[in-house]
Amino acid sequence: MSDLFDAAPAPGHTPLAALLRPGNLDEVIGQSAIVAPGSILRRRIAAGALGSVILYGPPGVGKTSIARAVGDMMGKEFRPLHATRAGVSELRKLADEARIRPLLIFVDEIHRFSATQADDLLSICENGTADVIGATTGNPYHVLPPALVSRSVILRLEPMSIAEMEEVVRRGLAHLAAAGIDVAMTPEQVRLVAGRSGGDARRALTTLESLAVGHPGGAIEITEAMLEEAYAAAPVNHDRSGDQHYDLVSAFVKSMRGSDPDATLYWLARLVHAGEDPRYIARRIMIHASEDVGLADNTALQTAVAAATAVEKIGYPEAQIVLAHAALHVARAPKSGSACRGIGLALQAVASEPPVVVPKHLRDAHYKGAEALGHVGYRFPHDDPRGWTEQDYVPGLQPGRFYQSDARQAGTFEKRADAYWEETSGRPVPRRFGG
């Protein structure tokens, strides 16, 4: 009588993305700057001097595929490790093995290595015991030990273009057809799958596989309903703690600063769609209402503060309207960087120069004995019909050293203030751009 252990276990399912891994760098789709003939990676492979390489980029852009292709091209045994599961003992065993046969050690999520693991890996890199490729989604200069970064070639991989993603999907369709699975997709559907994958080839192939598997024999015609089902619960490709998060936020605030309302709304929509905390977005808008609009339109900060209060009370989905309102105010308002620039210059001076002694006429005089100490001479501006009087507030400080007006042709608050103070004081307001 046979039992469970008489037969060998059935092999597990190999995902389509794994089946389509390139065998060499010529088969890699995208990343042309890294895999092209004459690139630093190609030259190191040709010289047999790969050393330590860090592949850095978002998920699904080919880090593991490139590493495997390099191992095949160099004729080295590929030893994959995952940083969260590989212990120090395993690293040391691989180092011993590498002294006998040529190895390429691949460490996925290398940023998750502990300090002890990183030290052992450093030893392997320094001694040239084995070639090492590490993969990370985080910026190596932020998430890896400086000693490892200094000993490694850092190669940044970019998300694939729509055209490259379409090529990935077509390659997947060709592989399925060769396996007897005929999947019919229109060019528009191919482009939809490519576009919805966010530059992640693995995600595109996983979606294609989900559309193709489990059908009865015959050609499979992909319908709009099937695509809607495949994307009904599709995860959003957004890492709130990684580079992608900061790149999206950077694009958002630079679009506001650049006064492009459409780009502002696009990047805001990307953040909202990704589920970014509306309070975080509101805080960024508040910062840039002062940093980029500032004295050109003081109401921008009022709008941003009101938006921050509103999203606390409302939440999604309606908070997206409030965020758009505030972001568009910042984008459409005239710009002045005088507040941000001025406080930066002042802080730099305070940190690098001897402190200025508070003049006696500006010192506190609200106590008995202040006059005897010489705390006299302050002239109260409101006692002058102009509301202003000439006196020193920081001895020796040249006008315009910290604050230079960014007033331009528009009738902004800063422009009106310049005109008022020039008329009142009889002297020009320092301007960054003259005029």
| Chain segment 360-375, per-residue pLDDT in tens | 888 888 877 777 788 8
Compute CA distances 114 → 61, 93, 111, 136, 348, whole Å: 25, 17, 8, 14, 37
Compute CA distances 344 → 291, 351, 402, 425, whole Å: 11, 11, 8, 26
Task: Note the pTM of the prediction, 2 decimals.
Answer: 0.64
pLDDT at 274: 79
CA-closest candidate to residue 194, choices 67, 31, 30: 30
CA-closest candidate to residue 107, choices 54, 150, 36, 70: 54
Range scoring the smallest mean pLDDT among 5-9, 71-75, 159-163: 5-9
pLDDT at 6: 42
- The pair of structure tokens assigned to 288 is 């840039």
Give backbone dihedrals phi and psi of 55, rounded to 5 degrees, phi first. Answer: -95, 120
Task: Round the average pLDDT of the chain to a whole number and report it.
Answer: 86
Average pLDDT over residues 15-41: 89
| Chain segment 209-224, per-residue pLDDT in tens | 988 888 877 788 888 8
Average pLDDT over residues 82-103: 83
- What percent of the chain is predicted at pLDDT more than 70? 94
pLDDT at 435: 55
pLDDT at 234: 55
SS3 154: strand
Range scoring the smallest mean pLDDT among 178-187, 236-245, 289-298: 236-245
| Chain segment 60-92, per-residue pLDDT in tens | 888 998 999 999 899 888 888 887 777 788 888
Cα separation, 239 vs 39, in Å, equals 29
Q: Which residue has the higher pLDDT, 89 or 157?
A: 157
Any idea what DSSP says for residue 284? H
Cα separation, 77 vs 97, in Å, equals 11
- The pair of structure tokens assigned to 319 is 């908070």
Range scoring the smallest mean pLDDT among 224-238, 252-266, 310-324: 224-238
Contacts of 33 (CB under 8 A, 6+ apart): 39
Cross-strand pairs, 396: none
